[in-house]
Each structure stands twice: as C-alpha cells, then as structure tokens.
Structure 1
C-alpha cells in the first residue's frame, strides 16, 4: 500500500457511543452473518451470553465480548448497556487511570484480542478527557491504537471491512471531535493532535477501500493545517503524509496526473519537516519518489 503513516506504537481506545448518535443504529447485521464475520471464539462464547445475562451478572473480561455480540446482531441498545456497565466497573476502580486502560488495550490487542481492544481504547479516550494537552495526546494515541487494531482485524478476515466502516471508524471520528471541542488548549496544539487523529482515520478509511471518505478526510486535514499553521504547515511531518496519501488516493481512483502533483508536493514538504531526523526524512522522500514513478508509469 502506498500510504505513509507515523512509525510509532500507541494505544487506542474505542469511544463510548451514546444511543442518540450511535453508529450501531445505522446498519443491521443478522445472526447468520456473524459466524462468518466475527472471530469464532468471540461469537461462540457470546452468543448465549447476549440472551441470558444482565450486564451486572457478567465478569469484567466478558463484557467487551458481549458488547461485540450485540454490535454484530445489530442491537444498539443492548450493546450500549454492556458498554456502560464496563465503564461503570472501570470508574469504580480507583486505579483505572486512562493510561492504564490504554496499556491494557495494548496488551490484549497484541494478544490477538483486537476487537475487544477497540472498546477499551475508546473508554480510555473518554477517561483522558479534552481539558489538557496531555489528555489530547492520549486521545490521539488511542486513535492510533484503533487503527492498529483495524490492521490486525483485517489481517485475519478481510470480510470485516464493512463492520469496520460502519462501527469502528465512526468511533475514531468521535475521538477527533473530543479533541476538536477542547477549549483549554492553545489552537496550534489542539490542531496538531486533531490532524494526527485525522491521519489515523484516513489511514483506516484507506484500509477498508473507502477512498472517497479518505479523500475528504485528507482534504479537511490539509485545510485545517494551512489555516492554522499557514506557511509553517510543512514543518510538521503529518502534512507531508497527507500530501503523499492524497496522491495515493488519486492514484487508486485513476487520477494519475493529480497523483503525481501531490507526490511532488509531499517530497517538498518532507524536505521542510522539522519534527523528524534526517534518516526518517530520507525514508519518506524515497517512498514518495517511488510512488511518483509508479504514477508516471500509469500515464504512459
């Protein structure tokens, strides 16, 4: 894939979703589809849980599994009940700090429980809040965790793309809104963490072949950076990533001329980035040069 993305390992959590705005209400997936789409161990363990148990009767480790059961059978209200019970249990534990919840999400993601990790990432993002710079960085890092969870989910089952589009990426958009609504952080700091979150969103949209959504997200992020940072936008690595990834999106949607234009812009931007060392600069420039060559071949 021609996308460039930050080379870091961060945790991400799935945001809590209110019933009024829940993306779960937008799509119903019937039980006969669940066995094909959902990881077998979660499906079989939770199929009976969902109909037999109250959230208060289920242990901490099973609540996330049951949440996903209700997501996959299209029951938004039931999913919300189990998610809220999990949040309640975490709030009752004095040691349930946002960074510890994020670390737990990292651990279970690395152990192959990436779908459950998504839920914990979002709860961690909510616990971070949006009233401090550290909180915004935590939310941004949680968004990266979700992106990495998406990569793990798709590595096992490409058919999960529709679920990721409908239920997971909207949670990332919600996390972006957590950052955007902050009023206690200066505009440039808020902008920087918001666009890094948008970078994880556009990467995820690309992973599920939602190129129209990806294009819109990238263009929005570029516009935000150019408004806030003006001529200084290119001093940030993420700006070069957006230009490169817009070029890749154009290439994937049969617009090689536009692709070449943005690969050239990305090369120039990487040359101005002040938040990377020379080795990383050479890497990203080399990548964009190769993508430019590929796009030029399309036009021949």
Structure 2
C-alpha cells in the first residue's frame, strides 16, 4: 500500500449503476468505480445503520484498523488507498485488480494453469500470509483465507485481500447486519478449521490460517472446490473428514515424472497443514519457507511461459467506463443505487427481486444468449414438461435450441453456473438440462479438461437425480414417472457422457479409465435410486472389470473402485445373493483401506461396512 491512507469524498467516485458489483461475502459487497487519480478502484462496502453513537464508535475502530493496514506494505498484499463514508454506509477504497481472483481462475477450465504457475501462486500467497502473521507492531490472523480473497494482477501475481475483514466484520456486526449475507459470519465454512467450527466466536489463531491454506492448496491442485454445495461440511470436518483427492490424482496422471514429484510435495504440505490437531500443523512460516525453496529451484523462463499461456485464454474483466452515479447513492444493505424509493420501500422491492432471481433466469442471461426473456423461459418450461411427459425426443429438440446459442459463445461456465443454481433451488430437471449443455461447451478446453468437465457434469446429473428422489419421498413417494425418467432419460444421458470420455484422446489412458469408472459409479447409483438392482449389478461389475483390467492389483489405490465393489455388494443383497454380497463387501473394505485418494477417515468407512457385514452374516445364519 503506497502513500498515506486518507478519506475519499464519495461524490468523487463514480460508478456505472448498471454494471458495478464484482463480488460479495461476509465482509460486504465489492463494487467497482472510477476516481480521477486512481482510475478504477474497488470499494468494499459495509452497511452502517446503527445509532449515531454506535456509528462513531465503529468508524473510530475501523480507522484504527486502517492505520494498521497502512503498515502492511508488501508485494503480495492488496493495496488499500483509504476509506469513504456516506449516508448509507462505509467502504474501503482499494486498487482494482483486473486478473480477478484465484477462485475464478481455477474454475475457468479454458485456462491452462501449468504446474510451475500453480507453485508460484502458492508461494506468493504464503508469503503474503506470513507477512501479516509477523507484523512487528501487531500480529494479525487473516481469519477468512480462501481463493476468493487472493486477488490476481494482469500478470497473475497474487495479492492477499481482506485480512482486516474478520476484525472489521466483528466490529460492524455489533451494530448492523453485514451487507452481503446478513449474518455477520466471520469466516467461510468450507475453509474453516475443525476447532473453529466447534468454538464459534472463539479467538482467532494462526493455526486456523494454516488449515485454510491447506484447502487453498487442494483447490490449486485439483481445480475444483473442496466441497460440493449441500455436503454436510460441519459434521464431516469436525469428525476428521477432508476433501476427496481424486481430481488431484487424475491431474497427476497427465504430468511428467518431475512434475509429479512437485505435485506430491504440494500434497504433503496440504495433508500436514490440515491435520485435525492444530498443534501438529506446521507454522505458516515453515510452509512458506518450503514453498519458496521449491519455487526458487524452478526455471523462471518456463514460469513466464506458463503465465503467458494462461493469459492467452483468460478473459480479464475490463470494467464499464460509463460511470456517472456517485458512490454516495449506493446502499450496501440493498445492493442498489437508490432512486426515488425510501429505504424501507427499496428493501421490500430488492427482497422480491432476490426471491425472483432465485427461481428464474435473469433477463440479462436470455438477452446475452440471443433469446427474449419470454422465449428463453418458455423453452426451459417446454423442456421440463416434455421430460415429465416422457417425451424425450421432444425434450432433446428443445435442449438443442438452447445449447446452440450457448455453443456459439462456448459459454462453459455460464451453463455450469445455471445448472448449479437450479439444483440448489431444487429445480432438478432444469439443472439436468444445463449440466447436459455444459458438457457440450468444451471447444476451448484441453482434452483432459474436456473429459474432466464431462465427468463433473455427469456427477451433477446424478446429484440432481438424487434431489428428485428426495423430493418425491417428501411428497409421500411412489412417483412412477420419476423412476421412468431415471431409467429412460438420466441413465442414458450419463452413459452417453461416459462414451464421449472414452472417445477423447488423452495422453494418459489411466485418467481416461478413472473418469469412465466414475461415470459408471454415477450410473449404478441412479439405478439403485430407481430400484433396478439387476441393471445396477451389471453396471458395477462393468466398472470393477474396467478398473481391474487397467490397474490390476493397484485398482484398490482408487476410491472409485471401492465404491463400485461396495455398491455391487449392496445390489447382490437386494437380489438375494447373500454369500456373494459378503465376498464383495469384504473386498470393498480392503479397497477403502488401501485407496490413496480417499481423504475421509478410512476407519469410519470400514466401521460402517463391518456393521453391515455383521448384519449380512447374521442374516445368513438365520
């Protein structure tokens, strides 16, 4: 951070009221504006709506915190210019970074992020965290480390942001709801250490940041979020479970021997840093030293080449220059620029808009894809009705109309985001539509990225299928149409994806087999939900044979093999083949014990299977 921090007149920062928000979180909304000296700036906005005494106390506390931030001058810390306050709130005025954030980079599979670039990202991020941990006048703990809070310059250098956020959130939440989530939550569940989850509101410790950094390493290596939406994270993490490492193994299968060694060094640090016992985690200073040593050994020319290659396919955001609305008109609470509404009226209107947005496609999306709003919504409705009526050919025709528009733009992430949005809102047939479309938007991906994207879409379809069945149970169950939809539409869809993966030419055939095996696992799980145990047995057996043929005795190193063995045993029980079921359940137990990429505590899985095995053996004796 260069120069003195100062207060900025909100009237001198102008925004485009139609294109302004670039992020949101527990800290508040992040919007972009223009200033006559700094050009584009990012403003982290907080809702300050308590009484005047409360406001003054909060402002004093925030100003003290800002003075601390001023001392944090470091290449890997986001640059803060100062602050601004206005009628509706307060905001930190920061440098705007056009590279976006690390999460956006990692989830954009059109971008080739090489091994050396990943090491540089981790090395720079660790350096920034260690710096704030060791400030001479007051040691800080970040408290909310995650890829979203690692900003990127145009040249993909890392800048840690929000390390004062946890403290500022604590201060503002005493008098107000934090704009963005309304809870005052000071951390992100997916990246929170188990002891922090158990002691909500306890003192922040540097070991918490070490744990969070381990989850960042996981996402940098796997390029997928550590947990899926809907996962029971709280109980899982407290009980010692960690994210699956299957995606990391798939990625490593396409690396050179030297690159594999580097990846394994990262994995070792990751596993040490997310240890259940905080006393056993390395200090971030140690993590940083190891990362700097690894990075310094690398050929910097090759690092530069990997950066350039990533930049070629990145879509760096250029903010709108149509800025005319003053920052002073922005309401952090409502997330809108105020017009003629009073604040209570505006709150009601925005709440209704948010509700509508959660169940409908935004107008901007349909316009972007070349449809009118009515036409786009009508097409999705048509698709759903055709599937419900078991008119699958007609549903395919509607899907083709929508996907044609998206394929013209190769809008991979747009389709995926819509699928996730629909699934989270329990609109599962709509979600299946967009997972299918997302699996087709792969023209700009590398072969391994394309195959991995198809597999992830197959996972999404399976999860949507589970959601349909759960909703049916809540509505007393017995919906024959759902069963038919699973067997005649969902299962063929995933089978088609498995065949597409099979037809992609990959450098490493091991990755191809693993991805196909996962698709077979998703298929047999859908068959289980539909109660078709005969077909489930066939699919499990196909997957088991596929893995054994490719990997031989090493098949047990992969968790998908254990899943297939386990579920084969379940299907055998359902078809009254008790002895064979016991045999395969024992094989599954051994496979879970030997799998290298099963990150949940193996003892838990084994205990569950031992209990089931005992039940089967008792049933056989009776």
TM-score class, shorter: 0.7 to 0.9
Say whether 1:118 aligns with 2:440: no
Q: Corresponding residue for 2:601? A: 280
The separation in 1 between residues aligned to 2:589 and 2:390, in whole angstroms, is: 45
1:213 offset after TM fit, Å? 1.0
Q: Corresponding residue for 1:209? A: 531
Q: Corresponding residue for 1:195? A: 517
Aligned residue pairs total: 248
Q: Corresponding residue for 1:9? A: 228
The separation in 2 between residues aligned to 1:204 and 1:189, in whole angstroms, is: 23
Q: Corresponding residue for 1:292? A: 613
The separation in 2 between residues aligned to 1:230 and 1:250, in whole angstroms, is: 23
Superposed counterparts of 1:200-279, under 5 Å: 200-277=522-599, 279=600
1:187 offset after TM fit, Å? 0.8
User: Does the 8 A contact of 1:131 with 1:184 survive in 2?
Assistant: no
The correspondence for 1:154, drawn from 465, 469, 485, is: 469
User: Measured at CA, do residues 88 and 251 of structure 1 come closer, stay the same or move farther in structure 2, by a change above 3 Å?
Assistant: same
The separation in 1 between residues aligned to 2:458 and 2:507, in whole angstroms, is: 19
- TM-score, structure 1 length as denominator? 0.76
Structure 2 runs not aligned, ≥5 long: 1-225, 231-370
Cα deviations by residue, 1:112-170 (Å, 9 ceiling, x for unpaired): 11111001101111213696111111111111111111111111224111221111111
Say whether 1:100 aligns with 2:414: yes
The separation in 2 between residues aligned to 1:231 and 1:203, in whole angstroms, is: 24
Q: RMSD over aligned Cα, in angstroms?
A: 2.3
1:77 offset after TM fit, Å? 4.6
Task: Give SS of 1:91's match.
Answer: helix
Which one has the largest radius of gyration?
2
Superposed counterparts of 1:9-88, under 5 Å: 9=228, 59-88=375-404
- TM-score, structure 2 length as denominator? 0.38
User: Measured at CA, do residues 244 and 68 of structure 1 come closer, stay the same or move farther in structure 2, by a change above 3 Å?
Assistant: same
Structure showing the higher strand proportion among its residues: 2
Structure showing the higher helix proportion among its residues: 1
Cα deviations by residue, 1:39-81 (Å, 9 ceiling, x for unpaired): xxxxxxxxxxxxxxxxx77522332220122233354453333
The separation in 2 between residues aligned to 1:66 and 1:154, in whole angstroms, is: 22
The separation in 2 between residues aligned to 1:166 and 1:224, in whole angstroms, is: 24
Q: Which has the higher contact order (CA 8 A, sep 6+)?
A: 1
* Larger CA deviation: 106-115 vs 120-129: 120-129
The separation in 1 between residues aligned to 2:535 and 2:228, in whole angstroms, is: 25
The separation in 2 between residues aligned to 1:273 and 1:72, in whole angstroms, is: 40
